[in-house]
């Protein structure tokens, strides 16, 4: 499929499920970006889940987000149990303008949902000339060190660094677990084993069975350090944003429970309000010290490289995905 076909398929599938045109378009663009960057676990694989959630009421397909600005540098969005992407879009202009006016600003969302690839939102801030820090929490799937009961989600965080030319010089995007849960979901769908050290079963023992892992907990990256970062994200994306805790959120997969009601927190810094042009010179020097080393890679470079190949070769969709999307019987 071409990327345009990916976008159209996602758009029409979501509209057919009951999403409004604007909401479907925002999520379809996210799907387009995921497939463009070769991040298959957040691309077309998720579209049937999104559609299912609109139909069953876990997501309000025609929700209209409500934006408020209680402080000059604070923008809050009530997503109204709709998709996160249009809610982020709704608060974006006020948020980025506040960052330019004040030097720094924060955007939070509550009554929200899965926001897709967090790094894309960080990259968007970088393209707007802002240094962006992004946080989102998820239904609990990571247990504290020494425990077996999950207390936080995979809780990703991302950093987008502007290059001063309308692009991003670096994008860091990682979850606090060894691997994103969507990767285990994808392996389970394809009947494949997962890698050792990715997850634990319900008994707290390591497992390579994806189905067992989905009933257990994810392994935190770096042990107690990963759990600490997960709690940091939880405080920002859940507690500060006014969203539910990860332990209270319904799953992002399946139809159990009502809307997840999760949240996000984005922080934007305008370099002009701090070190000015010196910021970009320092960043360039920093990245050069990485790229000058044989075999070293700046975070985000692989995604950029994937874009060129995807745009020329297209997106391959296996039979299982074609069936899930209604392309074949």
pLDDT at res. 18: 97
Q: Which residues sit opposite 268 in a β-bridge?
A: 105, 132
Q: Is the pLDDT of residue 31 over 90?
A: yes
The span from the CA of 234 to the CA of 54, in Å, is 26
pLDDT at res. 328: 87
Q: Is the pLDDT of residue 146 over 90?
A: no
Please answer whether residues 219 and 204 qualify as being in contact, where contact means their C-beta atoms are separated by less than 8 angstroms. Answer: no
Does the annotation mark 41 as catalytic? yes
Please answer whether residues 137 and 108 qualify as being in contact, where contact means their C-beta atoms are separated by less than 8 angstroms. Answer: no
User: Which residue's entry shows tokens 């939102």?
Assistant: 121
Nearest to 243 by CA among 260, 229, 261, 230: 261
pLDDT at res. 312: 86
What is the value of pTM for the model shown?
Answer: 0.93
DSSP-based three-state secondary structure for 111: strand
The span from the CA of 119 to the CA of 129, in Å, is 15
Q: Is the pLDDT of residue 108 over 90?
A: yes
The span from the CA of 224 to the CA of 111, in Å, is 29
Using CA atoms, how far residue 175 sits from 40, 136, 172, in Å, is 16, 9, 10
The span from the CA of 139 to the CA of 236, in Å, is 15
Nearest to 52 by CA among 21, 14, 22: 14
Catalytic residue among 20, 26, 42, 234: 42
Nearest to 152 by CA among 238, 225, 214, 82: 238
Q: Which two tokens mark 4?
A: 């345009």
pLDDT cut 70: percent of the chain above it: 100
* Residue 320: band (very low, low, confident or very high) from pLDDT cuts 50, 70, 90: confident
Please answer whether residues 44 and 31 qualify as being in contact, where contact means their C-beta atoms are separated by less than 8 angstroms. Answer: yes
DSSP 215-256: HSEEPBTTTHHHHHHHHHHHIIIIIITT---GGGSPPSSSS-
Does the annotation mark 68 as catalytic? no
Q: Which two tokens mark 320?
A: 């299982």
Catalytic residue among 35, 123, 183, 234: 183
pLDDT digits (tens, 9 = 90+) for 280-311: 999 999 999 999 999 999 999 988 889 988 98
Catalytic residue among 41, 112, 238, 246: 41
């Amino acid at each position: 499929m071409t990327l345009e076909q990916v976008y159209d398929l996602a758009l029409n599938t979501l509209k057919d499920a009951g999403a409004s045109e604007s909401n479907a378009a925002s999520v379809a663009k996210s799907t387009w970006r995921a497939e463009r960057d070769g991040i298959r676990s957040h691309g077309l694989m998720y579209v049937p889940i999104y559609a299912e959630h609109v139909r069953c009421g876990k997501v309000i397909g025609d929700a209209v987000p409500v934006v408020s600005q209680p402080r000059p540098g604070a923008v809050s969005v009530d997503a109204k149990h709709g998709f996160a992407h249009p809610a982020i879009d709704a608060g974006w202009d006020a948020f980025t303008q506040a960052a330019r006016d004040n030097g720094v600003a924060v955007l939070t969302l509550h009554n929200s949902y899965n926001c897709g690839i967090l790094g894309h939102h960080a990259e968007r801030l970088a393209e707007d000339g802002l240094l962006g820090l992004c946080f989102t929490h998820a239904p609990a799937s990571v247990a504290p060190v020494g425990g077996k009961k999950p207390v936080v989600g995979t809780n990703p965080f991302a950093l987008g660094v502007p290059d001063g030319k309308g692009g991003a010089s670096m994008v860091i995007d990682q979850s606090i677990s060894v691997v994103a849960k969507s990767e285990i979901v994808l392996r389970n769908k394809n009947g494949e084993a997962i890698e050792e050290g990715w997850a634990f079963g319900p008994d707290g023992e390591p497992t390579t069975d994806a189905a067992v892992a989905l009933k257990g907990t994810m392994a935190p990256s770096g042990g107690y350090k990963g759990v600490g970062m997960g709690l940091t994200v939880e405080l920002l994306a859940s507690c500060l944003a006014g969203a539910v805790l990860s332990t209270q959120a319904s799953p992002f997969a399946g139809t159990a429970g009502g809307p997840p009601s999760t949240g996000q927190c984005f922080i934007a810094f305008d370099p002009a309000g701090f070190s000015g042009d010196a910021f970009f010179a320092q960043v360039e020097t920093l990245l050069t010290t990485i790229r000058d080393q044989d075999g070293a890679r700046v975070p985000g470079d692989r995604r950029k490289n994937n874009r060129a190949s995807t745009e020329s070769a297209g997106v391959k969709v296996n039979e299982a995905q074609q069936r899930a999307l209604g392309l074949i019987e």
